[in-house]
A = this chain, B = another copy of it.
Amino acid sequence: MIENSYYGQELHGPYEVHDIGDLALEEGGTIRKCRLAYATFGKLDPDGGNAILVPTWYSGTNKIIEQVFIGPGRALDPGKYFIVVVNQIGSGLSSSPHNTPAPAGMGNFPRVRIGDDVRAQHKLVTEKFGLKSLALVVGGSMGAQQTYEWAVRYPEMVKRAAPLAGTAKNTVHDFLFTETLVDAITSDPGFKGGFYASPAEVREGLLRHAKMWAVMGWSTEFFQRNRHKALGFSSLDDFIINFMYTYFAPMDPNDLLCMAWKWQRGDVSRHTGGDLREALRRISAKTFVMPMSSDMFFRPADCEAEWRLIPNAEFRPIETIDGHLALFGADRDALGQIDKHLGDLLASKV
């Protein structure tokens, strides 16, 4: 356990924390008194039909989901829907390496899979909120991985699904990219096998990790058209230090690694002995597959190939030069496209 003021109500609140009890993990470990941090927006209809679940992405929390996607007049409108944003395990707000007491925390935190998150979230929404169905599950990147897992694991419950910039089964190439992110952190001598005294001791690793995110997270066009300058940074160095590194520097390295391990291994075909076609056939949700056109690791072509295997799905790519990190919401036009598609999806009969 390590004090880290980054993960708190001040920066990410308001959020609530619910203890779902002990969570036995697919890889064999157990998270004792597993806590899920979540934020809700809007009110649940008496018939329970207006609930939307949004799982979080790598390094993100409920706060950025709120800022980028939720609001009056948006597709995710709290005036119409009861929206639950759940922080994934390892996010730093829910049970995570840095906030788990010794000896189970830090470098000893057990391996977690996307399926563990989704089972934990299922407990939360059924036991805490009594939900019997979800009008929509939507998430970006690792949130898309969780969205697919929801739709395959609990098809009777998920009415609509919108995996945004993510896949149902991670690619070899994306696995490898994520491995280089992991290496950037673990290779820092200050990492000490996960038993550092503060993230500052891993600052060089976190800086390398931030730079590698800058390479793969945006796109060539993003920099070529000086989008980094348009966002208020005077040079590439300024952008790297004062945006990318500033973003990641306060985060807990073990927390990031917990999420990265899950991300690498996201794969709904674990339900069907490795048969992705069979797994995706289980989805009954009306599904919109929504990649970012310039994404360098959750590539549109890979998302499109999965879309073809989903029974009731539409392929709705988002045109943007912001790459994967269009999820950050800096491209207003991309947000408009996302709202349009999510609006269409929510309006569709199921």
**A214→B205 CA distance, assembly (Å):** 20
Residue of B172, B174, B180, B219 near A208 (CB, 8 A) is B180
The distance from the CB of A92 to the nearest CB of chain B, in whole angstroms, is 25
User: Is A215 a contact partner of B172 (Cβ separation < 8 A)?
Assistant: no
Residue of B187, B216, B224, B301 near A172 (CB, 8 A) is B224
User: Is A221 a contact partner of B301 (Cβ separation < 8 A)?
Assistant: yes
User: Is B301 a contact partner of A176 (Cβ separation < 8 A)?
Assistant: no
Residue of B nearest to A216 (CB): B215
Contacts A204-B187, A211-B183 known; A219 to B176 CB distance under 8 Å? no
User: Is A212 a contact partner of B180 (Cβ separation < 8 A)?
Assistant: yes
Residue of B nearest to A183 (CB): B208
Which residues from 212 to 226 on chain A have a C-beta closer than 8 Å to any C-beta of chain B? 212, 214-216, 218-224
**A302→B171 CA distance, assembly (Å):** 26
Write out, one digit per residue, whether chain A residues 36-80 have a CB within 8 A of any chain B CB (1) or not (0): 000000000000000000000000000000000000000000000
Interface core residue of A171, A172, A179 (most chain B CB under 10 Å): A172
User: Is B223 a contact partner of A176 (Cβ separation < 8 A)?
Assistant: yes
Which residues from 155 to 193 on chain A have a C-beta closer than 8 Å to any C-beta of chain B? 171-177, 179-180, 183-184, 187-189
**A205→B188 CA distance, assembly (Å):** 11
Residue of B222, B240, B301 near A220 (CB, 8 A) is B301
Residue of B nearest to A296 (CB): B296
- Decide if A236 is an interface residue (CB 8 Å cutoff): yes
Residue of B nearest to A205 (CB): B187
User: Is A173 a contact partner of B301 (Cβ separation < 8 A)?
Assistant: no
User: Is A176 a contact partner of B211 (Cβ separation < 8 A)?
Assistant: yes
Identical chains in the assembly? 2
Contact surface of A with B, Cβ cutoff 8 Å: 171-177, 179-180, 183-184, 187-189, 204-205, 208, 211-212, 214-216, 218-224, 228, 236, 240, 296-297, 299, 301-302
Residue of B nearest to A177 (CB): B215
The distance from the CB of A38 to the nearest CB of chain B, in whole angstroms, is 33
Residue of B175, B236, B296 near A176 (CB, 8 A) is B236
User: Is A220 a contact partner of B187 (Cβ separation < 8 A)?
Assistant: no
Contacts A220-B299, A221-B301, A224-B302 known; A215 to B173 CB distance under 8 Å? yes
Residue of B nearest to A229 (CB): B172
Q: Which residues of B contact A187 (CB under 8 A)?
A: 187-188, 204-205, 208
User: Is A224 a contact partner of B171 (Cβ separation < 8 A)?
Assistant: yes
23 A-B pairs (CB sep. < 8 Å):
A171-B224, A172-B223, A172-B224, A172-B236, A173-B215, A173-B218, A173-B220, A173-B222, A175-B236, A176-B211, A176-B236, A180-B208, A180-B211, A180-B212, A180-B215, A183-B211, A184-B208, A187-B204, A187-B205, A212-B212, A220-B301, A221-B301, A224-B302
